[in-house]
Amino acid sequence: MNSNELREMFLAFFESKKHLRIPSSSLIPSGDPTLLLTTAGMVQMKPYFLGEVTPPANRLTSSQKCFRTTDISTIGDHKHLTFFEMLGNFSVGDYFKENAIEFAWEFLTSKMGLDSDKLWVTVYLEDEEAFALWKDKIKIPTERIYRYGKKDNWWGPPGLEGPCGPCSEIHYDFGQTLGCTPIASPEQIRIWEEGRDYAESDVNQPGCHPNCDNCERFVELWNLVFMGFFQNQEKELSPLPAPNIDTGMGLERVSVISQGVRNVYETDLFRPIIKTVCLLTGNKYGEDNAIDKGIRIVAEHSRGAAFLIADGVIPGNDDRGYVLKRLLRRASFYSRNRLNYPPDSSPLLPQVVDSVINQFGCIYPELEINRKHILAVIENEEERFYLTLDWGVHTMELLASEAQKLWE
């Protein structure tokens, strides 16, 4: 199933459950000074959850454009992204834990046809209700239900303050051949969690587990947030006007599973972009890890930059503008220094971004509408970066030469 089919299947499924389909909001949050960018599907739902605005319906579903800046330095590995699409279903004071869990399970096992034995579940340490629902209602074996603390199983708030609550995650198991160590039992992980120091690494973990960061066995597929609290900037909690449901399942991650590939860069969301990068730079993907990392960075950052500019971000020295500038300059650096793109060739990134617009413009028309502007901004920034880089290299060479003369 390709990504467009998955996106439509998800939205249509929740429409059949009486959810109103709503469009994605901009990557620039509207009227929310606590957020730099839209980081989750629930961002446009915040006024509804807080009781500030009446929602168009109490059940909503969307595929939301999201951008997270925390992972920029790790882009190029097998799983991290800056820009991604978050599939979500939301309840504003309507259903709560039981329905959210039932809907998610039905979609994954009945609609998508995933093997239920490959699905593992995590819950918040103190959430006995969610644990009981998974065990008694869905019939998940207790050896596949794990408890974690706030770092892993408490979501929010987005930004400095806002709605939050305990969450329950569904993880997909790619098999023990990708695991780092034998599986630790839920009880071993619970004991470890209660005494865990998050400032330290996970070297002392009792074994592999769904939230393990040391291997590629498990991937978090869907997060069900039981949003019942508001957290202020002093980190104090108070009840929301009504309990709400906020869920998120990354389209990129579910595409990996549906398409039977190893990582997001092998899905149809990235294959055309990576093919373009390879054609333009003369590199092959899948033969050299260092080259692969460079190709991934150029492809991922080009995609993210296109969506940022389409929503009104321009390169600058602070806030959103700095995020965009950092993306473009990192991609430009890797294209020349890792992929050996010739300095005297036409700017690379506009050509890559053009393929991004060709691929996603039919789903997100703002890309097509702003094509000329997007390409012009990217070309200008790439040329400015290379001028700065070449000037810096030339200056360093002159200084080194003068230092050598003084030494002699």
Residue-wise pLDDT tens digits, 378-390: 999 999 988 776 5
Other CB atoms within a 10 A radius of the CB of residue 288 amount to 13
Q: What is the token pair recorded at 226? A: 């039981």
Q: What is the spatial distance between Cα 103 and Cα 13, in angstroms, rounded to a whole number?
A: 9
Percent share of the chain, pLDDT over 70? 93
pTM over 0.85: yes
Residue whose structure tokens are 């009227």: 31
**What are the beta bridge partners of residue 258?**
none
Which ranges of 17-51 would DSSP assign to H, the alpha helix?
A: 46-49
Q: What is the token pair recorded at 301? A: 């950052």
Q: Mean pLDDT lowest for which of 33-47, 224-238, 311-325, 382-396? A: 382-396
Evaluate if residue 394 carries a pLDDT over 50.
no
Burial of 197 (0-12, 13-18, 19+ CB in 10 A): exposed
In one-letter notation, the amino acid at residue 49 is F
Query: Which pLDDT does position 84 carry in this prediction?
Result: 97
In one-letter notation, the amino acid at residue 254 is V
Q: What does the chain come to in residues?
A: 408
Pick the most confident of 205-219, 346-360, 388-402.
346-360
Find out whether 27 and 313 touch, Cβ atoms under 8 Å. yes
Average pLDDT for residues 319-329, to the nearest whole number?
95
Query: What DSSP character marks residue 110?
Result: I
Residue-wise pLDDT tens digits, 30-64: 888 888 999 999 999 999 999 999 999 999 999 99
**Torsions phi, psi for 289 (to 5 deg):** -60, -40
Evaluate if residue 401 carries a pLDDT over 60.
no
Q: What is the spatial distance between Cα 404 and Cα 15, in angstroms, rounded to a whole number?
A: 72
Omega cis (within 30) before 157: yes
What are the helix and strand counts (H, E) for the chain? 13, 9
Q: What is the spatial distance between Cα 278 and Cα 62, in angstroms, rounded to a whole number?
A: 33
Average pLDDT for residues 158-170, to the nearest whole number?
92
Residue-by-residue DSSP string for 338-404: TS---TTSPPHHHHHHHHHHHHHTTT-HHHHHTHHHHHHHHHHHHHHHHHHHHHHHHHHHHHHHHHH
Report the mean per-residue pLDDT for the chain: 92
Residue whose structure tokens are 């990557």: 27
Query: Which pLDDT does position 395 carry in this prediction?
Result: 52
Three-state secondary-structure class, residue 116? helix
Q: Mean pLDDT lowest for which of 302-306, 330-334, 386-390? A: 386-390
Query: Which pLDDT does position 391 carry in this prediction?
Result: 45
Evaluate if residue 9 carries a pLDDT over 80.
yes
